[in-house]
Amino acid sequence: MQPISNLAVSLQLASFILLLLLLSPPTIAQTPPSKATTTTTTITKGTTITKPGCPRKCGNLTVPYPFGVGLGSGCALNPSLEINCNTSSNPPMPLITQNQLHVYDISDSQVWISNSVTTRCYTPTGGMLGQNSAGIDLGNSSPYTFSDKNKFTVVGCDDSAVMTGNNLGNGKRFGNGCVVSCNKPENVIGGSCIGSAGCCQITIPNGLKTANVTNMRSPFGHARVWSGNPCGYAFIGEAGRYSFRGSDDLKDSNFSRRVGESVPIVLDWAIGNLSCEGARKKDDYACKEKSHCVDVDYDYGGYRCSCDDGYMGNPYISQGCQDIDECEDPNENPCEKICTNTPLGSYTCSCPDGYTGDGKKNGQGCVATGSEFPWIKFSVGLGIGFLSLVGGATWLYFFVNKRKLIQLRQQFFQQNGGLILNQRITTIVDSAGVDAAKIFTAEELKRATNDYSSDRELGRGGNGVVYKGILPDNHVVAIKKSKTMDESKIEEFINEVVILTQVNHRNVVKLIGCCLEVEVPMLVYEYISHGTLYEHIHKPGGSSDWLSWEIRLRIATETAGALAYLHSSAAIPIFHRDVKSANILLDDNYIAKVSDFGASRLIPLDQTHIATLVQGTFGYLDPEYFRTGQLTKKSDVYSFGVVICELLTGMKPVSSERREEERNLAAYVVRSMEKNQLFKILDRRVLKEAAMEQVERVAELARRCVHLNGRDRPTMKEVAMELERLRKFNKEMWNRELRIPRDDGIVVGQMDGQMGSSSSLDLYTLHLNSTAFTSEYSAQYTTSSTSSKPTFPISTSPR
């Protein structure tokens, strides 16, 4: 029992230390961080930068007019621009009056202020140890707003947070959030914060008056990652200042203090809220002589002043803009011989006696007169020699570059597993006598796409660009040019290419081959000409005319059959991982073709799931896969269920145009079924053409597919069989089975020859009663009420 007791004491001690670190007040850096971005600062470079009798500095900060040191001192243009100098600190600390925020630096358009980090720490068992929150309200009358040079950053392995703010200029609220996760904190590497592996960053708009970090949550209370990441962090700071250090940051007990001291917040400042046009009419117009007014570029209004071209200094002070002496530095001035500065912010170039020309270094220069040197012959000879030299150098350049290009392509071919693929192709052809992957050269694909011309571009996404290519035999193909490739998984990539090229199903886009002579391998697929299902369902003005209920059901059946084949019938099971209507292509006969295997994974025959980094498309992503990182066959089933909901309703998977509780389509459909209101959200074409029972069966199948628990979902094979069975019955057969009573007392289906009168019945004339539908479905997603970008799920129960 003694070891267990020691462990408990150690855990309690570690938790206590974390709590002390969390609750200790952050210190404010006395030495300002160096600027991380290029800014323009001229108002501090003039001979006069403050009003007469006013101090130039507070501590290490130079305070130029229209700012001023001291409350009520009259040194600032107005009280809102006064800087409170706290002399009790050493050195004295400059503070923004309204919020007592430490000011690090002031430029022509911005100020840099101190930062604080929202921190939330946990015990080893998942209980919340403590939290401090950060938020700044600049005030409605403040001349300051948050700059779009800031970014919102979340760091941790089991955390999510939301940033909110108000823009008083347009009356709108801003809200957006980040989710970070990682299974093994000690393996997280530093670098970019793009993605969700330990660090996430998003941009924020300018013009905000408030910035608050809210809804910081941890789905599992860091219990699974506590040893390497006991706390989660969220903060706002200048872009480019924070560099993610991977596992070192995740376990750094001094993270909040270090970031608070090194990553400042950038504020834009402006004078008043009038435009330049309105401000010029006022007596307190701030721009002095030799300067001009500049409107700010955000909705709140206001203006700033800038010295005219040829002048530099402080445009807010009389005679503050001083003439720039362009001739001061003989090495930098624009004149070849004589440079004369003029008092009107300009200069002139001239040549001394015995020379002619405009005197400018980038013009004619100065040429000596009276020379008998044969300039014409010299120039002709020099020109011929120069052309000969250029011609020879050009030939040599292209010759050397061509050799380098050939060597580079050979290097890429070997680096991308070309030798391995050749061996695999030879083995397959010799043993099975079947067609295998074709290896294309880089030159072949360059010619096929007309050097990757923009008019050959079929689509562009996060993973790369797809081009239409025409091979020498006039065979039309689709060529996918990816952006990145994990060099550590080359052999796995080659294995997937070999397997996918042998996939032979009429409803799966055929992978023809690849090109390995480029830095990132390119894939060549069969070309499907009629666009994506997404384009036809969500066509502006309504779905395509040909998209009848019968065709919708056939497309769903074909797609389900293709996915079932990939899951069960292929040589090695394949999980698609990105099933969505945009990845279902349609040929000239509107036959469905499942495409885009960029996120697919091959699954060993002895495994039912694998652990991966979460990939997919918002709205289609399996919530169980998102939570656990465990990819299974049922993940594709969930995504396919969302596609069925699209076919039934004609609505997008996620839409900010719908009410908040209806934004997620899967949840909306299930909730409508629970309330017996399914018919209210069905597409008009479905209502007009489909039989009631048939639609209910299809909707019930979709509900089973999007069940939160993967074990309760059917397999793709079961889904395909059910859809095929539902297709066998036409509308009249469904109505006969239902035995629908007519107004004249005849029961449809009982009397021969009376079925014709039931053909006019549709879902507009029938009351849907889906009382058999039940669901344990709950809200899966939360989206920002003001942002066009959806946020990830955020737990509603704090840990």
User: DSSP states of 136-155 as a string?
Assistant: EE--TT-SEEE-TTEEEEEE
The predicted structure's pLDDT at residue 724: 94
From the candidates 105, 158, 578, 683, which is the catalytic residue? 578
Neighbours of 51 (CB within 10 A): 16
Residue 33 has pLDDT above 80, yes or no: no
Instruction: Work out the average pLDDT over 103-128.
Output: 93
The predicted structure's pLDDT at residue 447: 93
Instruction: Work out the average pLDDT over 344-371.
Output: 82
The predicted structure's pLDDT at residue 357: 84
CB 511 within 8 A of CB 503: yes
Strand order in the sheet with 135-137: 135-137, 210-217, 158-167, 172-181
Residues 236, 239, 241, 242, CA torsion sign: positive
pLDDT band at 417 (very low <50, low <70, confident <90, very high): confident
Instruction: Work out the average pLDDT over 239-254.
Output: 93
For 582-628, write each residue's pLDDT tens digit. Answer: 999 999 899 999 987 644 554 444 444 444 455 668 889 999 988 88
User: DSSP states of 49-104 as a string?
Assistant: -S-TT--SEETTEE--TTSEESTTSS-SSSGGGEEEEETTSSS-EEEETTTTEEEE
Residue 350 has pLDDT above 80, yes or no: yes
Instruction: Work out the average pLDDT over 520-533.
Output: 90
Give the residues across from 672 on adjacent strands: none
Instruction: Considering only residues 707 and 601, tell me which one the structure prediction assigns the higher pLDDT.
Output: 707
Residue 681 has pLDDT above 60, yes or no: yes
Q: What percent of the chain has pLDDT over 70?
A: 81
Instruction: Considering only residues 758 and 409, tell me which one the structure prediction assigns the higher pLDDT.
Output: 409
Lowest mean pLDDT among 161-170, 508-517, 665-674: 161-170
Residue 259 has pLDDT above 80, yes or no: yes
CB 716 within 8 A of CB 701: no
For 6-31, write each residue's pLDDT tens digit. Answer: 444 344 444 444 444 444 444 445 55
For 450-465, write each residue's pLDDT tens digit. Answer: 999 999 998 887 678 8
**Torsion-angle region of residue 400: left (phi > 0), alpha (psi -120 to 50) or beta?**
alpha
634 marked as binding residue: no
Instruction: Work out the average pLDDT over 656-680.
Output: 92
For 270-283, write each residue's pLDDT tens digit. Answer: 999 899 999 999 99
Lowest mean pLDDT among 563-567, 635-639, 781-785: 781-785
When mean pLDDT is compared over 97-101, 396-400, 720-724, 779-783, the highest value belongs to: 720-724
The predicted structure's pLDDT at residue 649: 95
The predicted structure's pLDDT at residue 556: 97
pLDDT band at 35 (very low <50, low <70, confident <90, very high): low
- The conformation of residue 265, written as its DSSP 8-state character, comes to E
For residues 254 and 247, what is the distance between their CA atoms, to the nearest angstrom?
A: 14
For 44-84, write each residue's pLDDT tens digit. Answer: 887 889 999 999 999 999 999 999 999 999 999 999 999 99
Q: What percent of the chain has pLDDT over 90?
A: 45
Neighbours of 21 (CB within 10 A): 19
For residues 596 and 599, what is the distance between their CA atoms, to the nearest angstrom?
A: 8
Instruction: Work out the average pLDDT over 21-43.
Output: 55
Q: What's the one-letter identity of residue 282?
A: K
Residue 780 has pLDDT above 60, yes or no: no
Judged by DSSP in three states, 580 sits in: coil
- Rounded to whole angstroms, what are the CA distances from 279 to 84, 168, 206, 284? 27, 20, 22, 8
Average pLDDT, the chain: 81
Neighbours of 754 (CB within 10 A): 14
CB 421 within 8 A of CB 516: yes
The predicted structure's pLDDT at residue 736: 56
The predicted structure's pLDDT at residue 149: 95
Instruction: Considering only residues 482 and 641, tell me which one the structure prediction assigns the higher pLDDT.
Output: 641
Active site residue 578: yes
Residue 424 has pLDDT above 80, yes or no: no
The predicted structure's pLDDT at residue 579: 93
For 529-547, write each residue's pLDDT tens digit. Answer: 888 999 999 988 767 788 9
Residue 557 has pLDDT above 70, yes or no: yes
CB 520 within 8 A of CB 482: yes
The predicted structure's pLDDT at residue 371: 54
Residue 138 has pLDDT above 70, yes or no: yes
